[in-house]
Structure 1
Amino acid sequence: MERTTLFHIFAAVLFLYNLPACLSRTSPNITTDQSALLALKSSVTLPPDHILVNNWTTTTPSSVCDWVGVTCGKLHGRVAALDLSNMGIIGTIPPHLGNLSFLVLLNITNNGFHGDLPEELVNIRRLQYMDVQFNKFSGQIPQWFGGFPNLVYLNVGNNSFSDSIPQDFGNLQKLKVLNMKFNQFTGFIPRIIFNMSLLELLNLKGNSLSGNLPANMCNHLPNLKFLDLSLNELEGQFPPGLQECSNLQVLSLLHNQFMGHIPSEIGNLTMLEKLYLGFNSLEGEIPNEFTNLVNLEILDLQSANLTGCIPSFLFNMSSLQWIELPYNNFFGSLPMNICPRPLLRVLVMAGNKVSGNIPTEIGNCTALTVIDLHENNFTGTIPEEFATIGYIAPEYGHEGLVSTNCDIYSFGIMMMEIFTRKKPTDEMFTSDLSLKRWVSEALVNGVTQAIDSRLIRQEEEHYFAEASCVSSIFELALNCTEESPENRINIKDALALLQKIRLEFQAKLSEN
């Protein structure tokens, strides 16, 4: 669904890009916009070397349209976009910003803005894109948010807004993206939200919303592709009518209080790629209709109170890469042919009642990076084939030992993979040459031999600092993957060393 979000960002940018160059230098109305922007500058705190200090000023002959973060349009010669994202700005939004009456895009994400959003912003009737996420806004979400008739994208996530979601949001009938995650909203989800027929993304994750979901919630959401209601206090039967959201690609209901069976109709969601239903009070078995979910990549049903035999069809779903079913009441045995299509990367089934031998065919799961089968009723010995999974510590496969030393081993291998862009199961590695040995030899013969060429290049200004940084990371990774578990660094010290490496790298950059 991230693709849908990016689509709207790029659409807004292209809209502005295709407007001819700003012709507002002689427009008398541009002074209104200039005053609004200078009022914003006066209401924030900026360090002396901040780019806006000397750029947003009337002492230079440059036009407002040339200021950093500002884009103007030709037809009206006024400010059409204001993008101040990721600029480290701390302060409040002045009411004067509402005078930017030709504004189409407002993006102030990832700053330190706080307080309320002034009501005067509702005067920006042309606004289509508004992103204020990752700030410190607080208080009740303004009722007047429903007064943006052209709004297509709204993101107020990761702030401290509280109280209920206004009913006036139902007026935003052009809205395609509504992201309100990680705030402090309470009360019911307004049913009017489920009538936004153009909505493609709805993210209300990480609030304190309660109550039931309407039975016909999907009747008016034919375009919905992303629905995340996780980490709330929603309750009632498993949401009925979800199968009507036939275009859903991501569905997350994690950490709520839903109960009842997973309806077989969920098999109608054939576009689904990610399904998260864990930490609810569900019951019954995984429906056979899951086999219709031909695009499913991630299945998370952890601590969902489910029961029944481990469905063998899960391991035959060609696209499934992530299976997480811990702490349920599943029983039976794992299928012998557990990886007919070796795409499985994560298998977590701890805390169930699965029995029998662990199939030796698990060695065919060449993409497997995480496996957790503890607290079950397995018999026999751990297959040596575990050792062929390149991320897993050797003692796990040979001796059946499981500890935090196994975790740090996997962490070290993944660090090597990140900077080499090579998997430990890559075809270049044989019995004589492993990823570990390749990295170790590169530290002696020239570390850049192992670093992915797309990450650093010799012609870059900071090449030597970057190479030295990755070299230190490789040394740490090798320390994490010592053959003897007792010789490996612990995770606390590993993270401290990573922090030290980062600080040293930043210091070298500042010296240049």
Structure 2
Amino acid sequence: MEATPRPSINIMTALLLLSLHGFIGPAAMAEQPSISADQASLLALKQHITDDPEDLLSTNWTETTSVCNWVGITCGTTHTSRVTRLNLACMGLSGTLPPQLGNLSFLAYFNITNNTFHGSLPVELSHLRRLQYFSVRGNFFEGEIPPWLASLPRLKYLFLNANGFSGTIPESICNVSTLQTLDLSENQLAGTILPLIFNIPLLKVIDLSNNQLSGAMPSSVFSESPLLDIDHSSNSLSGVLPQNICGNLPNLQGLFLSFNQFSGGIPSSLSECRQLQVLALSVNNFSGTIPRELGNLTLLNGLYLGVNNLIEYGSGGVVSTRGDVYSYGILLMETFTGKGPTDEMFSGEESLKRWVKNSLPDAVGDVLDAKLLSREELTAAKLECVSTILELAAHCCTELPGERKGMNDVLAKLEKIRTVLGQM
């Protein structure tokens, strides 16, 4: 008698049957330890937070609720719903970062911007191999920039600005081939600018402003770069600008080198940066004449050359040595409002000037950059000083050159204001 043929079953059915009988129980349960590991890592972070003024984490991050429903947490739809985003920006949190955060192995987005975290960045964060966005800006981290950042193979956006990082820029950062935005501004970094940093193949924005960097501008970019913005303002950079500065920067839109110690002439080759929209060279030691070739920059809508040793400045056919005062007035407005003529709310310098003038004298608090003075620090006396500064800026920007204040008068007035502020 022939044996009855057994019915065929597919692999998925077989696995299901085996799981029901407990044969693959440990594998089937693997997803639970995974999300539990994420939960444990985040609870470790909660334990390292010493101040949570809004009680956002203390009341929400509890073991009785799903991690994926916690405030600031986003989970993916695949890979057993692992944590993919951590966003605790602007929550007023204080504390340190625990090493357990390195166990968030599916994390792609890490943002703790504008809190008061301190200490150092734990080396265990180098285990976050899927990380693409990393921002700790606006905190109180210190120490050297960790070289292990170069071991993050997918990192695109790195924001370490507005902290207390010191030392030099690590050479290893030049090896992050996926990097598109690098912001190390507002720290205490010293040393020179690494030439190879401009050869990061996908880098579009580099901001090293407000540090203690010295030395010369790197003389060349060795390969064509997609850079859009270079900001090295407010450092101690010196020497002359390279004649070939635009040679391999066909896409450059913003070049910000104000508040340094550059000298020599302004290179006429800057006209080769055809996409340039803002050129800021104010408060340096440039000398000579302003190159006529800059007139070929048809997209240029912001030109800042004030407080240098240049002979003459032309505006609307009027040549005046007070043209630099005009640029300085715009610079003052930018500094105290945090806005520039190219801000999306404006259509140019005239709109910026009008916005500032309309705030005078009683509404300067509405235009003042919140980063300069918090609401608690904004006393009537300080507001009066700010109003005086912005009124001075407006006088610098009057249309007729002969009606503008002289640069010596402007600086003397600012010195008096600084003295008054120092006594408050």
Give TM-score scaled by structure 1 length.
0.58
Paired with 1:416 and 1:121, the residues of 2 have a C-alpha distance of 40
Q: 2:130 aligns with which of 126, 130, 141?
A: 126
* Contact 1:150-1:174 within 8 A present in 2 as well: yes
SS at match of 2:198: helix
1:368-427 residue CA offsets vs partner (Å, 9 max, x unmatched): 775xxxxxxxxxxxxxxxxxx9987xxxxxxxxxxxxxxxx8614876998xxxxxxxxx
SS at match of 2:173: helix
Tell me the residue number matched to 2:92.
88
Tell me the residue number matched to 1:411.
360
Cα offset, 1:311, TM superposition: 5.6
Paired with 1:191 and 1:107, the residues of 2 have a C-alpha distance of 29
Cα offset, 1:45, TM superposition: 1.5
SS at match of 1:125: coil
SS at match of 1:139: strand
After TM superposition, the runs of 4+ consecutive aligned structure 1 residues lying more than 6 A away are 389-392, 413-418
Paired with 1:390 and 1:122, the residues of 2 have a C-alpha distance of 46
Paired with 2:365 and 2:68, the residues of 1 have a C-alpha distance of 46
Tell me the residue number matched to 1:138.
142
* Contact 1:81-1:105 within 8 A present in 2 as well: yes
Tell me the residue number matched to 2:280.
276
Paired with 2:355 and 2:216, the residues of 1 have a C-alpha distance of 46
Cα offset, 1:95, TM superposition: 0.4
Cα offset, 1:145, TM superposition: 1.3
Q: Kindly provide the amino acid, as one letter, of the partner of residue 153 in structure 1.
A: Y
Paired with 1:254 and 1:46, the residues of 2 have a C-alpha distance of 38
Asked if 1:231 is matched to 2:180, the reply is no
1:237-283 residue CA offsets vs partner (Å, 9 max, x unmatched): 11332223121111110111111111111112222221110111111
Paired with 2:215 and 2:330, the residues of 1 have a C-alpha distance of 33
Paired with 2:30 and 2:323, the residues of 1 have a C-alpha distance of 59
Asked if 1:63 is matched to 2:66, the reply is yes
Tell me the residue number matched to 2:44.
39
Q: How many residues align?
A: 326
Q: 1:186 aligns with which of 187, 190, 197?
A: 190
Structure 1: 5+ residue runs without aligned partners? 1-23, 316-322, 329-344, 349-364, 371-388, 393-408, 419-488, 496-512
SS at match of 1:29: helix
Cα offset, 1:297, TM superposition: 1.6
1:202-258 residue CA offsets vs partner (Å, 9 max, x unmatched): 0000001111122213x4352111110011111111133222312111111011111
Paired with 2:164 and 2:323, the residues of 1 have a C-alpha distance of 31
* Contact 1:324-1:347 within 8 A present in 2 as well: no
Asked if 1:73 is matched to 2:76, the reply is yes
Tell me the residue number matched to 1:170.
174
Paired with 2:190 and 2:386, the residues of 1 have a C-alpha distance of 40
Structure 2: 5+ residue runs without aligned partners? 1-28, 333-347, 368-380, 388-424
Alignment of 1:291-370 (within 5 A): 291-308=295-312, 310=314, 312=316, 325-326=324-325, 367=350, 370=353
Paired with 1:36 and 1:221, the residues of 2 have a C-alpha distance of 42
Seen in structure 2, the aligned counterparts of structure 1 residues 366 and 142 have a Cα distance that, compared at 3 Å, is closer
Seen in structure 2, the aligned counterparts of structure 1 residues 417 and 285 have a Cα distance that, compared at 3 Å, is same
TM-align CA RMSD: 3.3
Cα offset, 1:170, TM superposition: 1.2
Seen in structure 2, the aligned counterparts of structure 1 residues 346 and 85 have a Cα distance that, compared at 3 Å, is closer
SS at match of 1:326: helix
Tell me the residue number matched to 1:159.
163
SS at match of 2:213: strand
* Contact 1:134-1:159 within 8 A present in 2 as well: yes
Q: Kindly provide the amino acid, as one letter, of the partner of residue 411 in structure 1.
A: L
Paired with 1:494 and 1:347, the residues of 2 have a C-alpha distance of 14
Tell me the residue number matched to 1:445.
none
SS at match of 2:309: coil
Seen in structure 2, the aligned counterparts of structure 1 residues 29 and 278 have a Cα distance that, compared at 3 Å, is same
Tell me the residue number matched to 2:121.
117
Cα offset, 1:308, TM superposition: 3.3
Tell me the residue number matched to 1:266.
270
SS at match of 1:240: coil
Paired with 1:416 and 1:134, the residues of 2 have a C-alpha distance of 22
Tell me the residue number matched to 1:105.
109
Q: Kindly provide the amino acid, as one letter, of the partner of residue 63 in structure 1.
A: S
Q: Kindly provide the amino acid, as one letter, of the partner of residue 87 in structure 1.
A: M
* Contact 2:243-2:269 within 8 A present in 1 as well: no
Answer 1 or 2: higher relative contact order, Cα 8 Å, separation at least 6. 2
SS at match of 2:325: coil
Tell me the residue number matched to 1:383.
none
Seen in structure 2, the aligned counterparts of structure 1 residues 101 and 313 have a Cα distance that, compared at 3 Å, is farther
1:319-370 residue CA offsets vs partner (Å, 9 max, x unmatched): xxxx962299xxxxxxxxxxxxxxxx9699xxxxxxxxxxxxxxxx994775
Seen in structure 2, the aligned counterparts of structure 1 residues 287 and 94 have a Cα distance that, compared at 3 Å, is same
1:16-75 residue CA offsets vs partner (Å, 9 max, x unmatched): xxxxxxxx99533111110000000000123475111111011x2x21111111111122
Paired with 1:207 and 1:199, the residues of 2 have a C-alpha distance of 20
Tell me the residue number matched to 1:429.
none
Q: 1:202 aligns with which of 185, 189, 206?
A: 206
Tell me the residue number matched to 1:27.
32
**Identity of matched residues, %:** 40
Q: Kindly provide the amino acid, as one letter, of the partner of residue 230 in structure 2.
A: L
Tell me the residue number matched to 2:384.
492
